[in-house]
């Protein structure tokens, strides 16, 4: 569990009675603050959506004047550990000298397109927005990718909620209200020091190549040759271990800085390789990439993901100095599935940042900026860091 800090603390409770677990987790977090909480975030994992709702209502009742947001999840993070697929509640409380505006977003049909409404007006002193969304009812990818049109360079960070029963079991909570669809969040403004860390955990293979022909999400040519032939050449040069990683889930990175002399690990926005089209000698990927952009194939394994997260966090701490607290949004494909333990990301953040208040959840997609642009990611750890 976290020790007493001046401004941030977390709590974790595991148990089948989610209302009692919510009471315990919120009480742990708020009792470790040196002052009253201004913001409480909580996350609930439970089989029955009605039980999750009751737990969320109880957590909001205990907010005692603070702004509060939360969501359902398939796993929660708190107390320096992760808990997956088990009834549990984690909570995070903060005393902030900042402006806080909670919001709820919904999608409305307008002629031949959808419009998202409910976002607060952007103010000059806005620092970051935390976003929690239902992936089944809210167009999170499109909203986040186009967020700069409304929010400018404001970073968005958070995750896509879920429930153990999938579609229909997601619950979102904001300042006393329960939402069963859409998205919720909080805008943080004023003199507060916040920054973000997004660890995509991939290792490049093969050379960087320019996209010389593409159609929608199909890469047709890379560096003037058929994309599939380029990929086959790269794979043939790999050792057996890396070939197995390619077979288990090949990725591709889109360079964020086209003018960099070299593009190495961490210089890319990572997207999945969805398949191949042998007839067209094409490679299908999970994004649309313009002709002329630089790409490089990638693999992901536990060792690379571990090194990447530790490296980014430690570099961040060296740059910032003292860190006081953090929120952690970790992919539900990490944890036990990748590292053999649900505690990995929580332990890594705690090891790098120190005994500060850290909580979060295992998300169905993680929101965070890469290269100054907001994106929805997969297999990523997105961290919102509060420093002195």
Where exactly are the structural domains of the chain? Answer: 8-199+305-387, 203-299
- Mean pLDDT in the chain? 93
How many other β-carbons are positioned within 10 Å of the β-carbon of residue 253? 24
User: What is the predicted pLDDT for the residue at 264?
Assistant: 65
243-263 average pLDDT score: 82
For residue 196, give the H/E element and its range: strand 193-199
Closest of 320, 369, 365 to residue 193, by C-alpha: 320
> Which residues are CB-neighbours of 303 under 8 A, at least 6 positions away?
none
> Which residues are CB-neighbours of 304 under 8 A, at least 6 positions away?
201, 202, 203, 265
Say whether 172 sits in a helix, a strand or coil. Answer: strand
**Percentage of residues of the chain with pLDDT beyond 90:** 85
| pLDDT-derived band at 183, boundaries 50, 70, 90 | very high
The answer to whether residue 114 scores a pLDDT higher than 90 is no
Closest of 295, 280, 298 to residue 222, by C-alpha: 295
Question: How open is the CA angle 50-51-57, to the nearest 5 degrees?
Answer: 90
23-42 average pLDDT score: 96
The answer to whether residue 17 scores a pLDDT higher than 70 is yes
pLDDT in tens, 143-182: 999 999 999 999 999 999 999 999 999 999 999 999 999 9
**Percentage of residues of the chain with pLDDT beyond 70:** 96
User: What is the predicted pLDDT for the residue at 204?
Assistant: 92
Cα distance between residue 290 and residue 214, in whole Å: 7
User: What is the predicted pLDDT for the residue at 257?
Assistant: 72
pTM of this structure? 0.92
Q: Exposed, middle or buried, 112 (CB in 10 Å: 0-12/13-18/19+)? A: exposed
What residues are paired with 327 via a beta bridge? 359, 384
**What is the DSSP annotation of 9-20?**
EEEEEE-S-HHH
What residues are paired with 386 via a beta bridge? 194, 325
Closest of 39, 375, 309 to residue 189, by C-alpha: 39
331-346 average pLDDT score: 95
The answer to whether residue 232 scores a pLDDT higher than 60 is yes
The pair phi, psi for residue 131, each rounded to 5°, is: -125, 125
Q: Which of 113-122, 225-234, 359-368 has the lowest mean pLDDT?
A: 113-122
The answer to whether residue 1 scores a pLDDT higher than 70 is no
Cα distance between residue 372 and residue 117, in whole Å: 24
User: What is the predicted pLDDT for the residue at 266?
Assistant: 67
Cα distance between residue 379 and residue 360, in whole Å: 15
The answer to whether residue 368 scores a pLDDT higher than 80 is yes
Say whether 97 sits in a helix, a strand or coil. Answer: coil
pLDDT in tens, 63-85: 988 999 999 999 999 999 999 99
The pair phi, psi for residue 42, each rounded to 5°, is: -140, 160
205-230 average pLDDT score: 96
Cα distance between residue 262 and residue 240, in whole Å: 26
The answer to whether residue 2 scores a pLDDT higher than 70 is no
CA 333 to chain centre: 12
Q: Is the dihedral of CA 7, 382, 57, 188 positive or negative?
A: positive
Q: Which of 166-170, 262-266, 370-374 has the lowest mean pLDDT?
A: 262-266
């Amino acid at each position: 569990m976290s020790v007493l800090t001046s401004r941030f603390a977390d709590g974790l409770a595991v148990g089948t009675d989610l209302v009692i677990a919510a009471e315990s987790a919120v009480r742990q977090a708020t009792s470790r603050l040196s002052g009253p909480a201004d913001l409480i975030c909580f996350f609930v994992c439970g089989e029955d959506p009605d039980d999750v709702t009751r737990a969320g209502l109880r957590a909001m009742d205990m907010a005692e004047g603070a702004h509060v947001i939360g969501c359902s999840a398939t796993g929660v993070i708190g107390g320096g550990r992760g808990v997956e697929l088990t009834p549990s509640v984690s909570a995070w409380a903060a005393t902030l000298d900042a402006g806080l505006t909670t919001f709820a977003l919904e999608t409305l049909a307008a002629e031949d397109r959808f419009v998202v409404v409910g976002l607060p007006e952007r103010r000059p002193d806005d620092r970051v927005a935390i976003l929690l969304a239902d992936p089944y009812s809210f167009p999170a990818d499109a909203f986040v990718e186009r967020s700069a049109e409304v929010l400018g360079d404001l970073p968005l960070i958070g995750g896509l909620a879920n429930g153990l029963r999938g579609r229909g079991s997601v619950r979102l909570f904001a300042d006393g209200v329960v939402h069963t669809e859409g998205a919720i969040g909080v805008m943080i403004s004023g003199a507060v020091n916040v920054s973000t860390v997004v660890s995509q955990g991939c290792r490049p293979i093969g050379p960087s190549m320019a996209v010389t022909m593409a159609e929608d999400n199909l890469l047709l040519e890379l560096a003037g040759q058929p994309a599939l032939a380029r990929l086959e050449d790269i794979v043939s040069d790999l050792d057996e271990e890396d070939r197995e990683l390619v077979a288990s889930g090949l990725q591709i990175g889109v360079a964020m800085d086209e003018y960099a002399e070299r593009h190495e690990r961490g210089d890319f926005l990572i997207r999945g390789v969805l398949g191949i089209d042998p007839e067209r000698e094409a490679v299908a990927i999970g994004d649309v990439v313009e002709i002329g952009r630089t790409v490089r194939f990638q693999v992901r394994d536990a060792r690379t993901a571990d090194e990447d997260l530790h490296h980014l966090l430690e570099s961040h701490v060296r740059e910032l100095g003292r860190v006081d607290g953090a929120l952690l949004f970790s992919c539900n494909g990490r944890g036990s599935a990748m590292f053999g333990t649900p505690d990995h990301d929580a332990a890594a953040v705690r090891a790098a940042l120190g005994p500060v208040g850290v909580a979060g959840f295992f998300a169905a997609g993680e929101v965070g900026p890469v290269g100054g642009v907001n994106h929805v990611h997969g297999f990523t750890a997105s961290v919102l860091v509060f420093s002195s």
